[in-house]
């Protein structure tokens, strides 16, 4: 995947949110500056279709995880609207990515250069760079 120089990479799952920036070349990403934004996980209407008791009991859907994905999208929305983000790559597990898409603002959508539906939280920076390069 071609990742523009200085593009931001949002790495998200149901509990973690990290933002890094590409300081490498478009086809040879070099991620730096990992930061973990403080999120206010308050959107528990996220995943409202998943509130069935059976799904909760069997652990198929955790509303806290979906609310975290919604909060990450809202944080990215605010940064895109303010102009702090120009190019954004979102890497998230499939469930979180699906929830985030429901909350993307049109300004953020304009700035998204790609999405990768894979869980890479906890992976090394080198592994994340390999995932991006091979996408």
Domain-located, residue 2:
no
User: Which range of residues forms the domain containing residue 118?
Assistant: 8-134
Domain-located, residue 125:
yes
- How buried is residue 134: exposed, middle or buried, by Cβ count under 10 Å (0-12/13-18/19+)? exposed
Residue owning tokens 């090394």? 124
Domain-located, residue 1:
no
The model's pLDDT over 76-101, given as tens digits with 9 standing for 90+, comes to 999 999 999 999 999 999 999 999 99
Number of domains present in the structure of the chain: 1
Helix (H, G, I), strand (E, B) or coil at 94: helix
Task: Decide: 2 and 108 in contact? Cβ < 8 Å.
Answer: no
The model's pLDDT over 63-80, given as tens digits with 9 standing for 90+, comes to 678 888 999 999 999 999
Domain-located, residue 78:
yes
Element (H, E) at 109: helix 106-111
Q: What is the CATH number of the domain that holds 128?
A: 3.30.420
- This prediction's pTM: 0.85
């Amino acid at each position: 995947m071609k990742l523009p120089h200085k593009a931001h990479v949002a790495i998200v799952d149901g509990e973690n949110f990290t933002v890094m920036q590409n300081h490498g070349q478009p086809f040879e990403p070099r991620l730096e500056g990992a930061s973990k934004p403080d999120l206010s996980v308050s959107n528990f209407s996220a995943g409202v279709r998943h509130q069935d008791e059976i799904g909760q009991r069997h652990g198929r859907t955790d509303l806290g995880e979906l609310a975290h994905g919604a909060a990450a999208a809202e944080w990215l929305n605010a940064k895109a609207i303010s102009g702090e983000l120009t190019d954004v790559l979102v890497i998230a597990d499939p469930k979180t990515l699906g929830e985030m898409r429901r909350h993307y603002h049109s300004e953020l959508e304009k700035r998204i250069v790609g999405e990768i539906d894979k869980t890479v939280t906890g992976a090394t920076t080198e592994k994340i760079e390999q995932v991006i390069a091979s996408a």
